[in-house]
Amino acid sequence: KKRKLLSVDEYVDGILSGNITLLSKAVTLVESAKPEHMEIAQEIIVRCLPHSGNSIRIGITGVPGVGKSTFIEALGSYITGRGNKLAVLAIDPSSERSKGSILGDKTRMEELSGNKNAYIRPSPSAGSLGGVARKTRETIILCEAAGFDHVFIETVGVGQSETAVHSMSDFFLLLMLAGAGDELQGIKRGIMEMADLIAINKADGSNREKAQMARVQYRNALHLFPQKDSGWDPEVLTCSAISKTGVTEIWDKIETYRNLTVENGYFARRRSAQSTFWMHETIQEQLKQKFYNHPEMKGQIKDFEQLVLNNKMSSFVAAGKLLENYSKLK
Amino acid sequence: KKRKLLSVDEYVDGILSGNITLLSKAVTLVESAKPEHMEIAQEIIVRCLPHSGNSIRIGITGVPGVGKSTFIEALGSYITGRGNKLAVLAIDPSSERSKGSILGDKTRMEELSGNKNAYIRPSPSAGSLGGVARKTRETIILCEAAGFDHVFIETVGVGQSETAVHSMSDFFLLLMLAGAGDELQGIKRGIMEMADLIAINKADGSNREKAQMARVQYRNALHLFPQKDSGWDPEVLTCSAISKTGVTEIWDKIETYRNLTVENGYFARRRSAQSTFWMHETIQEQLKQKFYNHPEMKGQIKDFEQLVLNNKMSSFVAAGKLLENYSKLK
């Protein structure tokens, strides 16, 4: 049975009044692949845009096992306890395969999911990283319009999705464990380089000393990276999400970062750069997809690949001929 | 005064008979931006393609001051001394500004430039990395057709150009210095990760011990990277290009690498992957350039950027509208 769609006005009024049910329904439209849903979603987004932007967007990453959910619960409860509203979103392009490993099961965050000032939304589960990232970025707009002044965007520590999260966050937080080298945790240097703060989790019991040592090591490692445009010196702190220690200190750092970057203008500059980045990213992605998905081109591309592989044509001539044929098609 | 162009046959016959003057003239056509030169260059390349490929292509990088020219002289003299023919090419997109810092001055390599089995060609000096890389890749084809069975492709240690060189090399050699940490030498981890061999140069005199220590450190660092598809374990060796020690050992390793990868099929697989990589890379680059350079689009792109920056339109809707307008233009 198909549910009837509401009017754009109904969705927008609901969102702006902070109605979670209508927010959720609108996010579902954002995530939908049906043309009629996409159209109404875009109208809702345009209407919500002027009411968006008034939040701090925090990207959070770390490999499975690092304690991300527990950390988000701890930090999220602290933030909402101070009277703020928190939306927890995620980017996990693999979630279709893994049946939604990230946030798929809200019960992983028992405390937050029962908290009326928190809104938890699992990763959109369809398709490419580009598609998933677009949906999450648009969901941020709707959440902000609904009054959420804090947004977490969670991801897993695998590379490409971190870059996507970084490009829609104001602050990027990397969770690590002591004891395991960063290489063992599968964290690439490039991800460490993006971090504004590294939090070494599970710094409790007999682990505390190891965590302190790791803190010194990571601090030294961070000093080798070039100075950030934000003027911010990335920090390394220890915490224990499960025993809720070190969490307020992390929050204090994030607030210090916000104050610094709002004042020196970096906060606004980065937001602007991110908006145009996503516009150009989408253009380039679409240009590529249109070319490669054109039914007339698919066979030709294969044929020219063979010519190149058999040394009958140079890579550049093959590219030129394919583009020439493509431009005649339209 | 304009020199008259020769016929395609004349260029091709000259190249295939190993005539260096005609090879040089053909490379000049490859590097030219004039349509009539580009057309004849492409004909020459297509004719040379079946005679190309029969070489080992070695990418060589390292920051200024590491002793690259001296190293290339030492290794190159050794190779040509064994009866081989060596072409030394370069990729340096900055060479227009710096008036050809790489190989621009052939006198930097006195020994090789007087060697009739060596052909030294400075980096093409025009424009974008993509353009420079294309020209160098096509020059490899001509050199191989002219009987050069060894090709060096030199670059500077700055990131993007290394990736280009790596994507047209069979073997990637990174020159380093002892004493300075890799961070001080400006070598990114990603470049270390590409290396098949790290050679610590200037391991002479009082520097020898430091070089040995650096060798152990880099070896440990390399072990942290994931196993390579080639089945090859990257090596770290020390050498002194100026006193010509350690150079034959480096060459032995390169030969061992070649034997291993030819036998396990990786050598051919990588060549094929590189050919199609360059085809697709060129397609994507051209699709982008056509869009962004279209006279009707330039102003529109600016306008939509403003709408996005003023929160009047989402990044994704702006991208969609621009693409819609673009498709109507053609």
As a whole number of angstroms, the distance between CA A246 and CA A67 comes to 14
Regions of chain B with pLDDT less than 70: 1-3, 94-107, 126-127, 157-159, 180-188, 330
- Give A52's contacts in chain B (Cβ within 8 Å): 311
Type of residue at B245 = T
Q: Are B152 and B109 in contact (CB under 8 A)?
A: no
d(CA A262, CA A259): 5
- B41's enclosing H/E stretch is helix B35-48
- Angle at B193 (CA atoms; ends B189, B196), nearest 5 degrees: 140
Q: How far is B272 from chain A (nearest CA, A)?
A: 6
CA distance A288 to chain B (A): 6
Nearest residue to B285 via CA among A320, A270, A31: A320
| Shortest distance, CA B249 to any CA of chain A (angstroms) | 30
CA–CA dist B187, B172 (Å, integer) = 14
Residue labelled with tokens 């967007």: A57
Question: Which residues does A283 contact at the CB level (< 8 Å), separation at least 6?
Answer: B291, B319, B322, B323
Distance, in Å, from the CA atom of B112 to the CA atom of B109, rounded to the nearest integer, reads: 6
- Please state at what angle helix B8-16 crosses helix B35-48, rounded to 10 degrees: 40
Q: Which chain B residues are within 8 Å of A46, Cβ to Cβ?
A: 312-314, 317
Nearest-CB residue to B314 (from A45, A181, A277) = A45
β-bridge partners, A87: A119, A151
Task: State which residue of chain A sits closest to B183, comparing Cα positions.
Answer: A224
Contact at CB, B314 and A50, closer than 8 angstroms: no
CATH 1.20.5.170 domain position(s) in chain A: 1-49
Helix, strand, or coil here: A5?
A: coil
Alpha-carbon distance A186 to nearest alpha carbon in chain B (angstroms): 10
Query: ∠ CA(A271), CA(A273), CA(A278), 5° rounding?
Result: 95
Structure tokens at A81: 């306890």
**Nearest CA of chain A to the CA of B183: how many Å?**
6
Query: Where do you find CATH 1.20.5.170 in chain B?
Result: 1-51
Structure tokens at A178: 């002591």
Three-state secondary structure call for residue B228: coil
Task: Report residue A240 as tokens.
Answer: 């224990």
Q: What is the ipTM of this complex?
A: 0.76
CB pairs under 8 A between A and B: 136
Is the Cβ pair B284, A288 closer than 8 Å? yes
Write the residue in A49, A183, A327 that is nearest to B314 by C-beta: A49
For domain A1-49, give the fold.
1.20.5
Residue type, A118: A
- The dihedral through the CA atoms of B91, B96, B98, B100 has a sign that is positive
Q: What pLDDT was estimated at residue A26?
A: 96
Chain B interface disruption, residue of A277, A282, A327, most B CBs within 10 A: A282
Mutate to test the interface with A, among B279, B292, B300, B312 (most CBs of A within 10 A): B279
Query: Chain B: nearest CA to A208, how far in angstroms?
Result: 25
**Contact between chains at A137 and B315 (C-beta distance less than 8 A):** yes
What is chain A's pLDDT, residue by residue, as a tens digit (330 residues)? 456 789 999 999 999 999 999 999 999 999 988 888 988 998 999 899 999 999 999 999 987 788 899 999 999 999 999 999 999 998 877 654 444 444 444 557 888 888 999 999 988 875 677 788 889 999 999 999 999 999 999 987 556 788 889 999 999 999 998 876 555 555 667 788 899 999 999 999 989 999 998 899 888 888 878 889 999 999 999 999 999 999 999 999 999 999 999 999 999 999 999 999 989 988 998 899 889 989 999 999 999 999 999 888 889 889 989 999 999 986
How much is the pLDDT for A185? Answer: 57
Q: What is the CATH code for B52-264?
A: 3.40.50.300
A261: exposed, middle or buried (Cβ count in 10 Å: 0-12, 13-18, 19+):
buried
Segment holding B260, helix H or strand E: helix B247-263
DSSP for A278-321, written as a single string: HHHHHHHHHHHHHHHH-HHHHHHHHHHHHHHHTTSS-HHHHHHH
**pLDDT, position B98:** 43
pLDDT of residue A91: 86
| Stretch(es) of chain B classified as CATH 3.40.50.300 | 52-264
Residue B176 belongs to what H/E stretch? Answer: strand B171-177
User: With contacts defined as CB-CB under 8 Å, which chain A residues touch B315?
Assistant: 137, 275-279, 282
Identify which of B277, B290, B309 has the shortest CB distance to residue A276: B309
Provide the CATH number for the domain formed by B1-51 in this structure. Answer: 1.20.5.170
What order of strands is seen across the sheet that includes strand A150-155?
A: A118-120, A86-91, A150-155, A56-61, A171-177, A197-201, A235-238
Please give the Cα distance from A288 to A277 (Å, whole number).
17
Q: What is the pLDDT of residues B78-136, one digit of tens each?
A: 999 999 999 999 887 765 444 444 444 455 788 888 899 999 998 887 567 777 888 99
- Nearest by CB to residue B279, choosing from A46, A290, A318, is A318
Residue B263 makes CB contacts below 8 A (sequence gap 6+) with none
Is residue B214 within 8 Å of B249, Cβ to Cβ?
no
pLDDT digits (tens, 9 = 90+) for A285-330: 889 988 998 999 999 999 999 999 988 888 988 998 999 999 998 6
Residues A43 and A45: their CA atoms lie apart, in Å, by 5
Interface test with B, best of A47, A54, A183, A275 (most B CBs within 10 A): A275
Q: Which residues of A touch B305 (CB under 8 A)?
A: 276, 279
Closest chain A CA to residue B134: A316
Rounded to the nearest angstrom, the minimum Cα separation between B108 and chain A is: 32
Closest CA to B283 of A319, A330, A290, A294: A319
Residue B330: per-residue pLDDT = 65
Among B283, B309, B319, beta carbon nearest to A282: B319
Cα separations in angstroms, B310 against B39, B211, B318: 46, 56, 12
Sort out which chain B residues have CB atoms less than 8 A from A42's CB and list them.
314, 316-317
Q: Are B131 and B111 in contact (CB under 8 A)?
A: no
Other CB atoms within a 10 A radius of the CB of residue B35 amount to: 8
Among chain A residues, the shortest Cα distance to B306 is held by: A276
The alpha-carbon gap from B317 to the nearest alpha carbon of chain A, in Å, equals 7
